[in-house]
Amino acid sequence: MAVIGKIRQRAGLLIGIVGFSLVAFILGDLLTSNSSFLRGTDTTVGIIGGKKFKIQDFEAKVGEMEVNYKLNTNKDQIDQNTMDQLRNQAWGQLLNDELLGKQYEKTGLNVSAEEIFDMVQGKNVHPQIKDAFKDPKTGEFNPANVVQFLKNMDQDQTGRTRLQWVNFEKAIAKERLSQKFDNLVKGGLYVTSAEAKRQAENQQRQASIRYINIPFSSLPDSLFKPTDRELSNYIKANAGKYKQEHTRKVEYIVFEVVPSEEDRQAARDYVTKRIEDFRNAENDSAFVAANADSRPDMKFSKKGTLAPILDSVMFNAPVGTVIGPYEENGFFKAAKLSEVRERPDSVKVSHILVAFAGAERSTATRTKEEAQAMADSLFKLCEKDSKKYLEFARNNSDDKVSAEKDGDLDWMTWDSPMDERFKKGSFEIPKGGVKVVESNFGFHIIKVFDATKPVKQVRISYLDRQIEPSSKTYNGWYAKANEFAGKNNTAELFDKASAEQGLNKRVLETLSEGEKNVPGLESPREMVRWAFQAKKGDVSKAFEIGNKFVVAKVESIKEKGTAKVDDVRAQVTEAVIKEMKAKKIMEDLNKYLSEGAKNLDEVGAKAGYSAQTATGLNFASPYIMNLGMEPSLAGAVFAYKQGELSKPVKGENGVFIFTVDSFTGPDTPKDIAQDKKSQSMNLGARASYEVFNALKEKAKVEDNRGKFY
C-alpha cells in the first residue's frame, strides 16, 4: 500500500476536509487542550449566523479529525501543537460549512459521482492522483495503476486503506465544489470598457503644480484642547477606523526560578566526588551514561573546535587525561580524553541500502535476516569490483534517490545530519574501501571514494551535572511570588510594590482571549483565561508557568465594537488636534483670499511661506517629493483648470493651496483589451477572500474557543 502512503504525504486535504485556500481565511487562534470544558454554565464554543455551537459538538468534530490524523500518519499519539492545529482546522471546517456551504446549496452546486470518477481515473485526473500513481521509471501517470490499486485496496483487512481512500475522495470533492463556487463568483465580475479606459487614463494623466504647504507642525499642540465630546463625536464620524476586538491590557511580574549558590555548589560537588572514578573508568561511555546528565558524545573533534580550556591541553595530553570540574553553559563538567586518532575531516561516500520490514521509512517486505544475507552477498561482489558496485548501487539499492546517482551521497562530515552508526562506519573505512554497516534504515554497503587529508582528532567524554534549582530553591521562589500576590492584591498596591522593589513590569497591550503565545512564557493559557474572567484592576494569584511564577494585573478592558474614548484617547486626540489645526489654517488662508490676495505668491506672502513646485503628480499614485502620499491634494488638482487658484485643501501633512501649471496626457489608449483583462484578473484574485470575509462579517461570527482551551 505504498501508493496510499504517497497520497498521505502529499495531501494536506486528508487531515480534515479543509481544502482549497481556506487557511487564508481562518483568523482563529491555535489553542491548547489541557483545560476543563465546563466553565460556568455556558458551553457555547462559537456562534455563526446566530446559530450556537456547543463545545460537546465541536469536540466531536475535533475527534473525527484526530482519528483521521492518526489514520493518515500511522501515529497513536498526538503532540500538543498538532492538537492545536486540528482544533483550528475543525473551526475552519465549521466556518466553511456554515458560511460557504449554504451558498453552495443556494446556487445548486454539487459534485457528481461521474466527476469523482473523472478526477480519479478519467480525462481530468486530480494532480495528486497523477503524482501518486506515476510510473517510477518513466515518471508518467499510468491510469492502470489506479485501477489496480482500487481492486486490491480491500486486501487490507483492517479497512484502513479503504477509509483513507474514502476520505481522500471526499476531500477532492470539497476542493472541486469550492473551485466551482469561486469560478461562479469570478464569472459574475466584469470590468467595463469605460472603467478600463478611465483607469488607464488616470495612470497616464499627470500634472505640474506650484503649491504652498502650511504644515500642521507649524501650530503647537498646546493651543488645542479637544473635549471628550469632541473626541467621541470624531470616533462616531470615523467608526470604521476605530473598530476593535475584545482584548485586555495586562501587566505582569515574572519571578524566574534561578539556581542558588547552594545549587551551584551541589552540582560542582557531584562532579568532584566522581572525578576519580571517572579517571579510572575502563569504559568511558558506559560511565557517562550511568553518571552524567548528558548522553555520551562519540564525536571526534579537531583542534580549534573545543572549549578553550580543553583545546589548549587535550591535543598534546596522554589518553586518560581529565580536566575539571569547570563551568560551561549551565553545567559543571569534567572532561576526559578518551581517544586520539588521525582521521579525515570529511569523506566522499556512496552506499547501497538493503532495507527490511520494520526499518525506518522502509516499504520492504524482506526480513532482517534476509536483508543481512543480501547485503553480505552484495558486499562480497562489490569489494573487489568498482564497476559491480556502481551497477548494484544503481539497480539494487532501496534508496531510490541516491540510486539515480549510482549511490553517491557526496561529501560527509561528522556534523552531517545522518544516522550516527552510518557516519561512524563511514569514517572507519579507508579511502577506496567497502564495508557493511547497519543503521536504523537497514544495511548499507558503504564505499569511500575520497577523503580529505587525515588530521589529529580527539574524542572527549564528559561527566557533567546541570546547575538547576533544587526543591528548596523552587519553593523559595514560589513563596516569594505568593507573598507578593497576597500582599499586593489591588492595582494600586501592585503598582506601588513593583516600583518600590524594582521589579520589571511586563505589558501585554492587546491580549486576545485565544492567545497562546506570550513572549518569555511557556504555555501561558491559565493566565490568559484568568485575565478574561477578571475585572479591571484585579490581581491574580501566582501562576506557575514553566520555570517561572507570574503575578498579573488587568490594567484595562476593551470590548468588541467601536472603541470608547479612553480606549484610544492618545490616537483620537492626535487626529482631532490635526482637524482643529486644519480648520484654523484654512480659515487663515480664506481670510487672505477675502482680503484680496489674487495669486499664489500673494497668499504665500501673507502666510509667510514660499511656493514650491511639484512635477509628475499622478492621480493614480499621488506622491509629492519630500512630503509623501497626498491623495486629497491629487484629487483636488485634477478638478481644477490650468492657472486657476485653488481653495485651501486639507492634506495628510498640512493644508495646501495651489495653481496648476500644466497637464500632460492622457494618451488615448489604442487597445484597452489587455487593461480589461488585467483588471478582471485582479478582481478575481480578491474574490474568494473578500466573499468569505463578507459572509463572515454578515454572520457576526463569535469565536469563544479561548474560554475552553
Q: Rounded distance, CA 191 to CA 680, Å? A: 6
Closest among 548, 541, 555, 553 to 254, alpha carbons compared: 548
Residues 46 and 122 grouped into a single domain: yes
Give the amino acid at 134. Answer: K
Q: Are residues 581 and 446 in the same domain?
A: no
Answer whether the bond into residue 648 is a cis peptide, omega within 30°.
Answer: no
**Could you say which of 343, 378, 410 is where a domain stops?**
343
* Strand ranges in 49-186 using DSSP code E only, listed in sequence order: 51-54
pLDDT digit string, tens, across residues 314-371? 999 999 999 999 999 999 999 999 999 888 889 999 999 999 988 888 888 899 999 9
The answer to whether residue 671 sits within a structural domain is: no
pTM attached to this predicted model: 0.64
* pLDDT value at 131 more than 50: yes
The yes-or-no verdict on residue 253 having pLDDT over 90 is yes
- In the predicted model, what is the mean pLDDT of residues 303-323? 94
Asked whether residue 387 falls in the same domain as residue 484, the answer is no
From first CA to last CA, the distance across the chain in angstroms is 37
- Tell which residue, 235, 343, 241, has the closest CA to residue 569: 235
Q: 688 in a domain, yes or no? A: no
User: 331 and 310: one domain?
Assistant: yes
| pLDDT given for residue 621 in this prediction | 82
Q: 350 and 339: one domain?
A: no
Query: Please, what is the average pLDDT of the chain?
Result: 88
On whether both 31 and 122 belong to a single domain, the answer is yes
**Side by side, which strands form the sheet with 702-703?**
51-54, 44-48, 702-703
pLDDT in tens, 471-526: 999 999 999 999 999 999 999 999 999 999 999 999 999 999 989 899 999 889 99
Q: What is the pLDDT of residue 212?
A: 96
- Based on the fold, state whether residues 74 and 120 are members of the same structural domain: yes
The percent of residues in the chain predicted with pLDDT above 90, rounded, is: 63
Query: At CA 498, angle to CA 495 and CA 499, rounded to 5?
Result: 90
Question: Among 531, 559, 587, where does a domain finish?
Answer: 559
Q: What pLDDT is attached to residue 160?
A: 82
What's residue 247's pLDDT? 94
Domain boundary (452, 486, 507) is at 452
Residue 11 has pLDDT above 70, yes or no: no
Domain-embedded: residue 196: no
The answer to whether residue 683 is domain-embedded is: no
Which run of H or of E encompasses 413?
strand 408-413
For residues 443 and 507, membership in a common domain is answered with no
Q: Of 22-26, 273-277, 412-416, which range is least confident?
A: 22-26
Taking the C-alpha atoms of residue 306 and residue 315, their distance in angstroms, rounded to an integer, is 10
Do 429 and 515 share a domain, yes or no? no
Which domain CATH number covers 335?
3.10.50
Pairwise CA distance, residues 170 & 309, whole Å? 63
336 lies in the same domain as 364: no
pLDDT one-digit tens code per residue, 384-396:
777 889 999 999 9
Hey, which of 27-41, 367-381, 660-674 has the most confident mean pLDDT? 367-381
- Do 227 and 169 share a structural domain? no
For residue 682, being part of any structural domain is answered with no
In a domain, residue 13? The reply is yes
* CA pair distance 337, 461, nearest whole angstrom: 7
Q: What is the mean pLDDT of residues 630-657?
A: 94
Chain segment 161-218, per-residue pLDDT in tens? 888 888 889 889 999 999 999 999 988 888 888 888 888 888 888 999 999 999 999 9
Q: Indicate if 600 and 552 belong to the same structural domain.
A: no
User: What residues make up the domain containing 517?
Assistant: 247-258+470-559
Would 685 be classed as within a structural domain?
no
In this structure, is residue 589 part of a structural domain?
A: yes
Query: Which of 10-14, 19-23, 122-126 is predicted least confidently?
Result: 19-23
Domain count, the chain: 5
